[in-house]
Each structure stands twice: as C-alpha cells, then as structure tokens.
Structure 1
C-alpha cells in the first residue's frame, strides 16, 4: 500500500538566516524547537548563558558611539538615572506578564530586563564575571541562611 504524501510545514523548510546586531557571529550550536503553536516548528540556536557575556560585549562597544544609530549608546549617553528608570519599567512589565500568566510575553519582557540590566552594568563598570562569581559564592547556600549571614543595619 503506498504511503500518503507528507504535508509540508514550516519545519520542512530551511530556516531563514536572521540578521544580528552583534559584530561577530554566534558559535554554531545544537538547535531546539521554538516554543509556540505545535503546527509550526521553526528552529533556533540553543541558547546558553554565554549569550549574556556576548550581549555585554556588544553594549560595552556601543559606549561613546553615535546615539542616533544605537539604542545602547542612546541609553548610556542619557545617564544612570534614565538607565535605571528603563530597567525599572522593564522589570514592572515582566512582573505584570508573570502575574497575568502570559508565558510568551514573560519571556520577551525577561529578555528586556536582562538587556537593561546589562546596560546598567556597563554604565556602573560592573563586569558579568563579578556577578557570576557572586552567584557561585552563593551556590549551595540556603537563601534563608545567606540572608541571615548578612550584616544587620543597626538603624533598620
């Protein structure tokens, strides 16, 4: 008995190359299906935490460049108050989507929060490795025990 022909889906088509704002190409990685409707399965690179280090490098490279062609340069030129304001706005939007149960929007807003946090790090001279080291220091420690070990504010 002959097999019925397969129906074509987006997963059968070759993935289109996407333009990237990074000056260097991301390393080739394994792929995973993009979340979304089960019928359309596009493939995207498997994300790893080093994407944050690469984003930090890109934002750092924008410091002092033309604010009319780079959002990062524009934010950095506007100063710490504006950067902190934008970070706060994005954090609130992230919280709203989390409470509303909007998973896809939560993912998008989370990416915005991380981007604006990195802009704040660049402005403040904080290196990602310093944050990673602090997370490593806390690893395996109960959050309750970690908080109890902090010096207490005598005025609080």
Structure 2
C-alpha cells in the first residue's frame, strides 16, 4: 500500500519545479501552502458528505482526492511522507486512548 503513496509523493515532489501551466500539482504548489491546505479542507468536506450519503463509489473517489491533497499540502510545507509514516509506525500497537493521553 505504501508503494502507491510513495510514488504519488515522489511525483508531487517532482512537480514542485514543474511549469504551473502544464501541471495541476504545480499550480497548487505555486499558490502556496495556505491554498494547498484550503484545497485539502474542501476535499475532506466532500469526502464527509459522501460518507454521510453512503455512496461507496463517490466516497472512494473523494477519499483518493483527500489523500492526494494531503500529500500536496505536506509537500507545500516540506513534510516528507516518510515522517508521517514513521509517526504512524510509532503509534502502531498503542491504544488510541493511551496515545491521546500522552499528548
């Protein structure tokens, strides 16, 4: 599963230097981290709406958009996917209740 995420993250990183006229990702990144965060939020809301509606196909599509825009937002702030995966790895096997209490 992380293979596709790693490839997508690498593609997004490569688009940082691409011409915004030829790449949607480059357009987003050129607009700055705030715009990338805004777009992530919009996609998250759309996923929530589809989850409430119960349309699996639409939720799947919106969830893919959320993941893509999360990776774009991370790239805009130079947060590597590897750091996020390491944090998930650190949390694995820890009770959610215990993890929240430790914050």
Specify the TM-score bucket, using the shorter chain as the normaliser: over 0.9
Aligned residue for 1:55? Answer: 8
How do 1:1-156 and structure 2 match up within 5 A? 48-150=1-103
| Structure with the larger helix share | 2
Aligned residues: 103
Per the TM alignment, residue 49 of structure 1 is displaced from its structure 2 partner at its CA by 2.4
TM-score by structure 2 length?
Answer: 0.97
Contact 1:64 1:77 in 2 (8 A): no
Higher relative contact order (CA 8 A, sep 6+): 2
Q: Structure 1: state its 5+ residue gaps.
A: 1-47, 151-156
Q: Equivalents in 2 of 1:115, 1:52: separation in Å?
A: 9
TM-score (norm 1): 0.65
